[in-house]
Structure 1
Amino acid sequence: MVGLIITTICLAAAATVFYLKMKRMERDIYQFSDRLEECLDELISGKELENTDKPRDALWDKIYEKLLRVSHINRKRSEENRREKEQMKELISDISHQTKTPIANLRLYLEIAENEDTGEEKRRELMQKMAGQTEKLDFLFQSMVKMSRLETGIIEIRQQPACLYETLASAVAFIVPAAEKKEIRLYVDCGEDVQVNHDKKWTEEALFNILDNAVKYTPDGGTIHVRVSVREFFTEICVEDTGKGIAPERQGSIFKRFYREPEVHDQEGIGVGLYLAREIITLQKGYIEVQSELGKGSAFRVFLPNE
């Protein structure tokens, strides 16, 4: 009889322990599902998960770590989408602003040319002006296409070991006529055997834009020096001119899209050359530095990684 009682008590105790374990497991499951539902609701609403002081266990730690990664990925994608939308809005605004003047000029010249009192010589002059505005629009839209394709990643930069001398020579060749017209002395110091990992086509575009900028803002009879120096990790291409120089407070703005200094609006250009140059070099894991002083010229230094 005593044995039966003891057995009954043991069974009752075991049942109680089992019941308590089941209740504890049920509570833990409810807590786990509540926390999971709370985190999923935050992810759905676009909120970013943060580390909290709530009770945690090994299983929840693993799940929460995965949820944090998902939250981080969603936040990055959201930021990228926001940036892309802002870039698109800025681009559309820039296109609208930049095309207003040449289009207005074309309409004005056309109205004058259509006037019966306009002489033949005047019409020829107006036709030349319209051709100039048309070329400006064409250059503007080509630049827009390059910018949009670079910014959206449509154009893929393909770096490979190549002779920098050849790339630089091609860029210099395009600015020689303009330099000769202004009697600007042009000096280039680059070893013919310098090999750098770069995209020849787009690096040539970047270097041309910097050189073209130097020619535009260097007065007649000035000097432009191009020097290439191979360093431990980077190869430096320095374009130094004897131009008007850039005020310190403006040096942070010259690489902005469509930026032009107030006193050079009579010069040709739309203010995208340096912007494109920086984008191209940055995509190749390089960078550009500028050193300048008003009245004493400027030095643009392009650094391309050796590997």
Structure 2
Amino acid sequence: MAGIMTAAACCLFFVSVSMGIKMWKLKRDISSFTDRLLRCLNDMTCGRELERLNEEGDTLWDKVYEKLQKLERIWKRESAENLEEKKKIKSLISDISHQTKTPIANIKLYEEVLLDEGLGTAEAGEFLQKVRIQTEKLDFLLQSMVKMSRLETGVIEVCCMKLPLCGTLLRAVAAIVPKAEKKQIRLSVDCDEDIVVNHDTKWTEEAVFNLLDNAVKYTGRGGSVGILVSVQEIFTKISIRDSGKGIALERQAEIFTRFYREPEVYDQEGIGVGLYLARKIIALQDGYIQVCSEIRKGSDFQIYLPNG
């Protein structure tokens, strides 16, 4: 009886050892498979060539690796096609921009010549002034469309650098001063000169200007528009506040869409792309814009740019 128990114990011991060895090999194989897979995926996401294997077999890894190779070829082919398509779009947009600049510049030149010489009647001069205004609107529309197309297709990419934010804001404010002065609107900027943010100065200036232009446009004579900057834990907040007409709550989600114009302001100049462009520019810098507004109590457009 004791011999039988000893034999059973030995058998159980050997089974346990065998199972332990199998489990160890299984863990080793899983670990090796995982490491290889992660290495290949990392190479693909970084644009590097996949690690080439010398051996060929019919293991699970061989089958997965074959699929990864096919995926890599498809990925590279589509990337090359997208790059070629982007080049064509860039060329087309540049061509449209170039082709429209010349005739518009010529029209403006002819208008100036005719205005300087005079047309003999006040009515003719009035019509010519209207033509000039419409030409300016057409020029603004085409330039906005070109900017929008370039941003949407990725032809233009933002280039963020750690630079002082104050200079960017002051340039945007300087560009809006003439319009603000016509309506006697007070402008103010409260920004610490030491605040440095990782941003694209040119495009951020464009976004801030668009928000300032919108604020001045819908703020009554004698009102105010101010910029207040505060550094938070993750984002730097640029608040652009105005004392204008305000925006109804149910419309605040629509104002950032392309060509949106509020029903009661169709007599105002503009085509409804300024806010859309501003949001697109800030989003490309990993930031976002939100608005807080009440009817007849003004609006507060808040830009959030990441500190890092």
TM-score range, shorter-chain basis? Answer: 0.5 to 0.7
Structure 2 counterpart SS, 1:186 = strand
Q: Does residue 59 of structure 2 align to residue 60 of structure 1?
A: no
Q: Which has the larger radius of gyration?
A: 1
Amino acid at match of 1:222: G
Corresponding residue pairs, total: 225
What is the aligned-residue identity percentage? Answer: 58
TM-score, structure 2 as length reference = 0.64
Change (3 A) 1:65 1:153: closer
| 1:70 to partner: Cα distance | 6.8
Matching of residues 33-182 of structure 1 within 5 Å: 57-64=60-67, 120-182=121-183
Equivalents in 2 of 1:294, 1:303: separation in Å?
24
Change (3 A) 1:249 1:194: same
Structure 1 counterpart SS, 2:291 = strand
| 1:59 to partner: Cα distance | 3.6
Q: Does residue 207 of structure 2 align to residue 206 of structure 1?
A: yes
Match of 1:50? Answer: none
Unaligned stretches of 5+ in structure 1?
1-55, 92-105, 107-117
| 1:281 to partner: Cα distance | 0.8
- Cα displacement string for residues 180-218 of structure 1 (whole angstroms, at most 9, x for unaligned residues): 222222222101111111111111111000011001001
Equivalents in 2 of 1:187, 1:131: separation in Å?
32
Equivalents in 2 of 1:275, 1:213: separation in Å?
11
Match of 1:287? Answer: 288
Unaligned stretches of 5+ in structure 2?
1-58, 94-106, 108-118
Structure 2 counterpart SS, 1:281 = helix
RMSD, aligned CA? 3.2
Worse-superposed segment, 281-290 or 62-71: 62-71
Structure 2 counterpart SS, 1:193 = coil
Equivalents in 1 of 2:202, 2:283: separation in Å?
15
TM-score, structure 1 as length reference = 0.64
| 1:298 to partner: Cα distance | 0.9
| 1:221 to partner: Cα distance | 1.9
Amino acid at match of 1:63: E
| 1:247 to partner: Cα distance | 1.4
Structure 1 counterpart SS, 2:272 = coil
| 1:75 to partner: Cα distance | 9.5
Equivalents in 1 of 2:71, 2:226: separation in Å?
53
| 1:68 to partner: Cα distance | 6.3
Change (3 A) 1:174 1:70: same
Equivalents in 2 of 1:63, 1:164: separation in Å?
50
Amino acid at match of 2:206: E
Q: Does residue 232 of structure 2 align to residue 241 of structure 1?
A: no
Equivalents in 2 of 1:132, 1:143: separation in Å?
17
